[in-house]
Amino acid sequence: MTKRAIWISFMLLVSALHLAKAQRDERGTYLALYKKQGPERVKATFLQEAVHYDLRNGMKVLDVGGNDGSLIIPLSTVVDTFEYYLEDMQDKFFFLAPLTADFVRQKINPKLSVKIFTVTGTATTLPVSGVLFDRVFVRETFHHFSDKPSMLQEIKRLMAKDAELKIIEPRNQKEFKNCNLLSSHELISVVTGEGFTYQSNAESPQMYIYTFRLRP
């Protein structure tokens, strides 16, 4: 091999390493933002939402459209142990989920013990089988799905008998004016029309937390 070929191969290797590092860079992500805010503020912010999750240790949790796994933070403010299944169409931010768990253990909940499973797929064809979930979360993503009935039917397939579906949507509608946010009445009507029973609608400073169960 000539010196030129060796040099080209070396530069290609360096470029590949830089690309891999860039793809796993947390800058500009929610995790980076939470680290800047400080653990006490992050915990206080998420706890006001998470108290409405009705979680218990050991539960199996499905995060539909969870992207970077940031749901781990509010979950960890109310429980220490859970199984966490992260689903999204793209897996490019999945690497952040274990980093978020590490951040939580270091700064928020040192008792955190979470098993993380990642699943690449669509909400209308969730590629999960052999598992029934105690809690299914659709956090800040319900308004993005065009085929909500098909998504809700897939969620029903994966819910345990006494499971709850938590649909969490932003309260500040001005920031999401182009995202087809539904009113409370519209959202409840869509979900109950697919075989769910409406339980409650709680509020945190940033979010509405809608709770549904399977219809008997």
SS3 content of the chain, % helix, strand, coil (to 5): 40, 25, 35
Tokens of 94: 């999945």
Q: Alpha-carbon distance 209 to 47, whole Å?
A: 13
Structural domain spans, the chain: 38-214
Q: Report pTM.
A: 0.86
Q: pLDDT (tens digit, 0 to 9) for every residue of the chain, 216 residues total?
A: 576 565 555 555 544 444 444 446 888 888 999 999 999 999 999 999 999 999 999 999 999 999 999 999 999 999 999 999 999 999 999 999 999 999 999 999 999 999 999 999 999 999 999 999 999 999 999 988 989 999 999 999 999 999 999 999 998 766 555 567 889 999 999 999 999 999 999 999 999 999 999 998
Q: Where are the alpha helices (DSSP H) in the chain?
A: 3-23, 30-37, 39-50, 72-76, 96-107, 148-157, 184-192
What are the tokens at 18?
Answer: 């830089």
Domain 38-214, what fold?
Rossmann fold (3.40.50)
Q: Which contiguous run of DSSP H or E holds residue 166? A: strand 159-170
What the block records as the tokens of 213 is 């169960």
